[in-house]
Amino acid sequence: MRRAALGLAGLVVVASAALPPAGPAEAGPAFNQRFEGTWVGAGTVTRDSDPSPRRVTCRIDGAADETRIALDGTCRAMLIFTRAIGADLAVDGSGTYSGVYVGSRAGPARLTGRLEGDRMVLAVRFPERVGGGRQQMTLENPEGSDRFTLRVTDVIDGARTEITNLVFERR
């Protein structure tokens, strides 16, 4: 199983924290603005080479307009591992978010998803098979909160397995 790419893949979807239910026209602009500014986070990431969860800290700078969210940042594990991460997401008139995540050893991943109540759910598609090949990113961000959680799961050996679990706060 290759989980290496998954751990940091979850960091991308920072761009996709959730809104309360709203129609597509209302969701995009208000939702996107939540990611303006600087975010810091910490949590765990599981990698292939070390199946024990690894503690990481991250910093991401976000910019947004009515149709896009752009994120640029880094994550660090201990003092020896640093990886650049980023995402560029756009929302269309139907409320579907799509874009690209960069930062994984597997290469850029395609992201596609929608707001579901108080969370955003994105399918992740890497250019090559990673882990079980059924990665999903979920972000939860109660309206008005300066904090959100980001989780990445995959189906490995028939069971949904958590690969990334991070908590971000606005700085």
- Record the pTM: 0.78
pLDDT 10s digits, 146-166? 888 878 889 888 899 898 888
Q: What's the total number of domains in the chain?
A: 1
Kindly list the distances between the CA atom of residue 20 and the CA atoms of 63, 114, 141, in Å, as whole numbers in the listed order: 21, 12, 9
At 163 the pLDDT is 87
- Whether pLDDT at 107 is above 70: yes
CATH number at residue 79: 2.40.128.20
> What residues make up the domain containing 22?
4-170
